[in-house]
Amino acid sequence: MTEALKLAVVGHTNVGKTSLLRTLTRDAGFGEVSHRPSTTRHVEGARLSVDGEALLELYDTPGLEDAIALLDYLERVERPGERLDGPARTARFLDGSEARQRFEQEAKVLRQLLASDAGLYVIDAREPVLAKYKDELAVLAGCGKPLLPVLNFVAQPGHREEEWRQALARLGLHALVRFDSVAPPVDGERRLYESLALLLEQARPKLQRLIEDHEAQAAARLVSGQRLIAELLVDVAACRRSVAAQPELERGAIRELHDAVRGREQRCVESLLRLYAFRKEQAAASDLPLLDGRWGDDLFNPETLKQLGVKIGSGMAAGAAAGAGVDLMVGGITLGAAALLGALAGGGAQTARHYGNRLLGKLKGQRELSVDDAVLRLLALRQRQLLAVLATRGHAATEAIRLATPQDQGWREGKLPDALQRCRAHPEWSSLNPGARLQDGERQAALDELQAELRQS
């Protein structure tokens, strides 16, 4: 087994070095990130492996803050009549006492860069090109290692990418990568590693392997995510509650059904977060707006549905009509039932009873509650949005996930996929029902079908 490629992540303080590491390692808990300067004061490493083989080691370093003074000092360590090259000068500085005092942090960076194969020079592209950054690059160049500038925060307004490109070109650094650690572009990692492979030709096979593995993993994660959503939809579509036709009992059952579905959705959200290595607590209470903002809206609240453009009118009408019809058939003795049914439909949970069942249940004084089509569509929309957001989210992101109003019409208005329609007739497919048969072959087939549907649309 060959040695892993070592990279030092260097740059000015507060430009997002630790954030870059978090995103590249998909480890949201790596190091500490804050707005304060000098947050990271130590050197910390992370290793990227494929199939158990270490390919890349990344080292987070403290920020360079005093490069102007350090460059002055470096020029002074040369004795009269001597001509030292960059690495020799740097080595002499590291042996000296200032490397343990005023320039202790800078010395850490230089030592790590000397021990690495190359450096990623992180730039906050929102900053103007100041002289101190040029001096930083001069200090770093003294280590004699290839440097790849990485423009961070290019997805944010007010960045000065063009200025930086010109300035870096003047310094002889023509290869550079745009990589926003909070919202990394889809092919960001590939570009970063490919640019690196141009600087380090002998490391190309390793980097290529890393790129391929990461892309394969991303695709596989997406498939797994779709599987999780399909399971949620099957569970909810097949969920059913049987309840005696008494208003209090029915209200209780509806509430219980709501809670069960909401709980199930929360489980799906948590599974997706885990799948994408975002921690639950990291994104829970305030960060992931499942409890507040739009996520926190009651799932069965008609307002939410309207907001998402889901049409529940037909459900309401059908529910009310069916309820009234049933009331008429039993001689109008349960006048409250039609109103209740309307309320159910309005609340999103519709008494979806097949005709025979309906009459039979009515005669026995039983009603069957299941979840409205509109709610299923909403669940599918929300989870697919979440999946799409997670797939492109950097692990440095700390802001809450915000979801826009979904645009695709298929799930909003079209008819539900056949697989979901089938679930309606199979209460035993839902983990929310007692006596569930989750390994049922037909259920697995429905899941596969649904997963394919989710992939297409």
Partner 1 sequence: MIARPAPDLDTLDRLWLTEAVRLREEHAGPLDDDEANRQARAQGGDLPVLIEQRALWLARRDGLVEALLHWRQGARLGGFALALLAVFTGAGLAFAALGDGQRPVNVFWALGSLLGLNLLTLLGWLLGLLFAGDSGGALGRLWLWLSEKLARDARAAQLAPALLSVLHQHRLGRWLLGVGVHGLWLLAMGSALLTLLALLATRRYGFVWETTILGESAFVGLTQALGALPALLGFSVPDAGQIRASGALGGDLEGARQLWAGWLVGVLLIYGLLPRLLLAGFSLWRWRRGRAALKLDLSLPAYRLLRERLQPPSERLGISDAAPAQLHAPSAGAQLEGSAGAVLVAIELDGSRPWPPALSKGIADAGILDDREGRRRLLDQLTRFPPARLAIACDPRRSPDRGTLALIGELSRCAAATRVWLLQAPPGEALDSARLDDWHQALDSLGLPHSTTTPLGWLESGHD
Residue among 409 and 439 whose Cβ is closer to partner 1 = 439
Is 128 a binder of partner 1 (CB under 8 A)?
Answer: yes
Q: By CB under 8 A, what part of segment 147-206 binds partner 1? A: 158
Is 223 a binder of partner 1 (CB under 8 A)?
Answer: yes
Residue among 102 and 190 whose Cβ is closer to partner 1 = 102
Burial class (CB in 10 A: 0-12, 13-18, 19+), 119: buried
Residue among 38 and 405 whose Cβ is closer to partner 1 = 38
Is 280 a binder of partner 1 (CB under 8 A)?
Answer: no
Is 314 a binder of partner 1 (CB under 8 A)?
Answer: no
Q: By CB under 8 A, what part of segment 76-95 binds partner 1? A: none
User: What sections of 171-312 are H helices per DSSP?
Assistant: 188-199, 204-237, 247-275, 280-283, 293-296, 302-307
Is 12 a binder of partner 1 (CB under 8 A)?
Answer: yes
Contacts with 34 (C-beta within 8 Å, 6 or more apart), sequence order: none
Query: At closest approach, how far in Å is the CB of 44 from partner 1?
Result: 5
Query: At closest approach, how far in Å is the CB of 240 from partner 1?
Result: 20
Q: By CB under 8 A, what part of segment 19-58 binds partner 1? A: 24-27, 30, 35-38, 41-52, 57
Is 69 a binder of partner 1 (CB under 8 A)?
Answer: yes
Is 208 a binder of partner 1 (CB under 8 A)?
Answer: no
Token representation of residue 64 = 């360079």
Query: At closest approach, how far in Å is the CB of 9 from partner 1?
Result: 13
Query: At closest approach, how far in Å is the CB of 102 from partner 1?
Result: 5
Residue among 53 and 408 whose Cβ is closer to partner 1 = 53
Q: Report the alpha-carbon distance of residue 339 to residue 320 in Å, rounded.
A: 7
Query: At closest approach, how far in Å is the CB of 349 from partner 1?
Result: 26
User: What sections of 142-203 are H helices per DSSP?
Assistant: 161-170, 188-199
Burial class (CB in 10 A: 0-12, 13-18, 19+), 262: middle
Part in contact with partner 1 (CB under 8 A); list of ranges 176-184, 344-352, 376-384, 441-449: 441-449
Largest separation between any pair of C-alpha atoms in the chain: 113
> Both ends of the chain: CA-CA distance in Å?
43
Closest Cα partner for 382 from 279, 275, 307? 307
Query: At closest approach, how far in Å is the CB of 30 from partner 1?
Result: 6
Residue among 131 and 404 whose Cβ is closer to partner 1 = 131
What size, in residues, is the chain? 457
CA distances from 39 to 101, 232, 266, 356 (A): 18, 41, 34, 68
Judged by DSSP in three states, 401 sits in: coil
Q: By CB under 8 A, what part of segment 94-113 binds partner 1? A: 101-105, 108, 111-112
Closest Cα partner for 121 from 30, 11, 32? 11
Residue among 12 and 258 whose Cβ is closer to partner 1 = 12
Residue 5 has phi, psi (to 5 degrees) of -75, 130
Q: By CB under 8 A, what part of segment 238-267 binds partner 1? A: none
Binding track over 410-439 against partner 1, x by CB under 8 A: ----------------------------xx
Query: Tokens 């989210």 map to which residue?
Result: 393
Is 209 a binder of partner 1 (CB under 8 A)?
Answer: no
Q: Report the alpha-carbon distance of residue 130 to residue 318 in Å, rounded.
A: 68
